[in-house]
Amino acid sequence: MTNPGKHHGPGGLFLEDLRVGQRFTSGSHAVDEAQIKAFAGQFDPQPFHLDDTTAKSTLFGGLAASGWHTAAITMRLLVDGGAPIAGGIVGAGGEISWPKPTRPGDILQVESEVLEVTPSRSRADRGMVTVRSETRNQRGEVVQTLTAKLVVPRRPSAADKHASFEGGESVATIR
Amino acid sequence: MTNPGKHHGPGGLFLEDLRVGQRFTSGSHAVDEAQIKAFAGQFDPQPFHLDDTTAKSTLFGGLAASGWHTAAITMRLLVDGGAPIAGGIVGAGGEISWPKPTRPGDILQVESEVLEVTPSRSRADRGMVTVRSETRNQRGEVVQTLTAKLVVPRRPSAADKHASFEGGESVATIR
């Protein structure tokens, strides 16, 4: 990965630190033909991801990265500072789309926004955070949108001190 | 990849060949610790994907594959015969979830079902097909569900012969 993202302290952000509308910017990563072919050779060996000449006569009109490669690069950019979550980035799932393919020479960067912060009803020590991440190329074109549900820990001391969240839910059923 | 999936003819299935409820079974792939660490080192370098000892004290309770690694393996199984679509597997996006982590030693296999077949309104030569793919381990536990929207070509001769589909839509606006 070329440039690191902006970091937000050594430990990352806990559930209490996250707010709807909060945004993060990742570092950037330059994609080349060799990377595209290496990923495709291992996980998505289809002609439009492996050979530029063959790719020209397909729907892609030229060599394009596997969408799963774009997803994997996006994850790396998020892990490298693009989503500074305490305890790491643990996704339960989400929605993904690839409006445009990633091409050789593209420089990718990820902009993320917090859409939802939901304390767990059953686990006092965590919550779910919905984050929308747009992966753009150097022309500002979106190559991937990912709306992911992440498991985010509460700050340990806060979880011990409070018996309920703002919403009034009881949260101490499991601990 | 260990075993190839069932193949459905050399050219794969066109839009006209796909029906709601149709099912496909992939071959299988055995995941080991080295694969998990290699993928994570490149795309998701978080402790629970890299080191078994550190992973024990995390939410995962032991070494687990990156969700994107499970997704990439699933794609490989689909490409290798698990989703025999003419022209290849081209996804516009979808919904993904990881109900359980993939572990070292897991043997993954993908069961797919066609949920929806929709001819394009604007392009006579293609349509969208929604496919739900469940990736299971050797104990039958689902480690990933993916509901993907695929771009599927119509059989070329059929696209030339017919001016409309069953739904009565006009489809020849671009060609």
Taking CA atoms, what residue in B is nearest to A41? B76
Closest CA to B81 of B7, B146, B13, B9: B7
The answer on pLDDT for A77 being more than 90 is: yes
Q: In this structure, how many other beta carbons lie within 10 angstroms of the beta carbon of residue A57?
A: 11
Continuous H helices in chain A: 33-43, 47-50, 52-56, 67-77, 156-161
Question: Average pLDDT in the A4-12 region?
Answer: 56
The answer on pLDDT for B170 being more than 60 is: no
- The reply to whether A71 touches chain B by the CB within 8 Å rule is yes
pTM of the predicted model as reported, rounded to 2 decimal places = 0.86
Whole-angstrom CA distances from A43 to A60, A123, A128, A165, B75 are 18, 36, 30, 43, 6
pLDDT for the residue numbered B119: 93
- The mean pLDDT value of chain A amounts to 87
Amino acid at A59: L
Whole-angstrom CA distances from B1 to B86, B104, B109, B137, B163 are 21, 15, 11, 15, 42
Continuous H helices in A44-167: 47-50, 52-56, 67-77, 156-161
Per residue in A144-155, pLDDT (tens digit) is 999 999 999 999
Q: Which value, to the nearest 10 degrees, does the dihedral of the CA atoms of residues A95, B75, A74, A22 take?
A: 20
- The reply to whether B71 touches chain A by the CB within 8 Å rule is yes
Task: Spell out which residues of chain B touch residue A95, defining contact as CB-CB under 8 Å.
Answer: 93-96
Q: CB–CB of B132/B112 below 8 Å? A: yes
Contact B96 A93 (CB under 8 A): yes
Contact A43 B75 (CB under 8 A): yes
pLDDT for the residue numbered B11: 72
Distance of alpha carbon B96 from alpha carbon B163, whole angstroms: 36
pLDDT band at A33 (very low <50, low <70, confident <90, very high): very high
